[in-house]
Amino acid sequence: MSEGYEDTGYDAPASSPCLLDSLHPEILRQSAPPASLALVNSLSRVFGMRLDHEHGESPDNRFLGDLAGLFQQRKLEPETTLEVHDAPWSQVYLIQYGVMRLYREAPSGRIAVHHFFSEGDLIWPVFGRTRTRRNTLCLTTVTNCTLWTASFPAFRSAVTARGEGAWAGFALSLTEELAELTSMREFRKQTMPAKERYQLLLEEYPELVQRVPDNQLAAWLGVVPATFSRLKNAKTGK
C-alpha cells in the first residue's frame, strides 16, 4: 500500500468519470441542462444581450424566450443541402455544433465558396434577392451538424416588434461582416499569390483547416484542388 492511500472499503476509482459510473452514494448527480437553454444562451450572444437570471421577466429575457420558441432542433449529416439557387430562402439557422458553407454553383458545376459558418453563428437570408426565386446562394452542411431552425418571416417579425430600427440594427452587423470578408478575400485574390493566401488561411482559420475537406478550402481560396494540394504538401514537407 503506497503512502497516503486510505482504505475506504471499496475499490477506489482511477478517475472522476469512473467515480460517476460507480454510482457511489456520496456523488450528487445533476441532470444535463435542457437543449433549449443552449439555444437561449446562443441567442443572447447573437443579440448582445445578457440573460438576467434574477429578474426572469425582464424585457430582454421575454424577447429571447419568445424568439427561442420559434426554433426547432435538427441533427443533420454532412453534405445535407438546406438552401438551393432559384428557390426563395425562407429559414434562419443557428449552429449549435458543426460547420456549414455558403456558396454559389455555376451551371457547369463549378463551385465558388463565399463563407464558412460554425458554432454560434446565425445564418439568414441577408440579401433581398436571396428571399426570391432569383436567389443564387446555396447552403450545405460540411460536417455533422446540430442546428436550430426557424421561419425567417416569423423571426424577422419578432425582432421588428421590439421597435423602430430594431431589425435594421440587428441586420446591419452581419451584412457588414459578410461584405467586409468578401471584399478582403477578393482583394487578396487579385493582389497576392496563392502561396501567401494559403499561409493566411492557416493563420486565420486553423480550426477550419482541420474540419473542412481540402477541395472546399480550395474553392474558398480560389484555386483548383491540385494547386491546393501542392501548397499543402510544400508546407508539410511531403
122-123 and 138-141 beta bridge pairing: unpaired
At 50, is the pLDDT very low, low, confident or very high (cuts 50, 70, 90)? confident
Are 159 and 70 spatial neighbours (Cβ–Cβ below 8 Å)?
Answer: no
Range in 22-31, 128-137, 169-178, 198-207 with the lowest mean pLDDT: 22-31
Instruction: Provide the mean pLDDT of the chain.
Output: 85
202-to-6, 87, 206, 210 alpha-carbon distances in Å: 50, 35, 5, 10
At residue 64's C-alpha, the angle toward residues 60 and 66, to 5°, is: 115
Cα distance between residue 134 and residue 128, in whole Å: 10
Tens digit of pLDDT for each residue in 72-113? 999 999 999 999 999 999 999 999 999 999 999 988 888 889
pLDDT at 144 over 90: yes
Give burial (CB, 10 Å; 0-12/13-18/19+) of 87.
exposed
Tens digit of pLDDT for each residue in 194-217? 999 999 999 999 999 999 999 999
Query: What proportion of the chain, given as a percentage, has pLDDT over 90?
Result: 59
pLDDT at 20 over 70: no
Identify the pLDDT of residue 19: 44
pLDDT at 183 over 60: yes
At 6, is the pLDDT very low, low, confident or very high (cuts 50, 70, 90)? very low
pLDDT at 10 over 80: no
Are 181 and 115 spatial neighbours (Cβ–Cβ below 8 Å)?
Answer: yes
Identify the pLDDT of residue 56: 64
Tens digit of pLDDT for each residue in 58-76? 888 889 999 999 999 999 9
Nearest to 137 by CA among 109, 153, 113, 116: 113
Are 186 and 133 spatial neighbours (Cβ–Cβ below 8 Å)?
Answer: no
pLDDT at 229 over 70: yes
Query: What proportion of the chain, given as a percentage, has pLDDT over 70?
Result: 82
> Where does 142-224 have alpha helices with state H?
152-160, 166-191, 194-204, 206-211, 214-221
Identify the pLDDT of residue 108: 87
Adjacent-strand bridge partners of 220: none
Helix axes 214-221, 194-204, angle to 10 degrees: 120
Q: What is the DSSP string of 64-95?
A: HHHHHTT-EEEEE-TT-EEE-TTS---EEEEE
Cα distance between residue 92 and residue 195, in whole Å: 36
Tell me the domain boundaries of the chain.
36-191
Identify the pLDDT of residue 238: 63
Identify the pLDDT of residue 230: 95
pLDDT at 5 over 70: no
Q: Domain 36-191 adopts which CATH fold?
A: Jelly Rolls (2.60.120)
At 22, is the pLDDT very low, low, confident or very high (cuts 50, 70, 90)? very low
* pTM score of the predicted model: 0.80
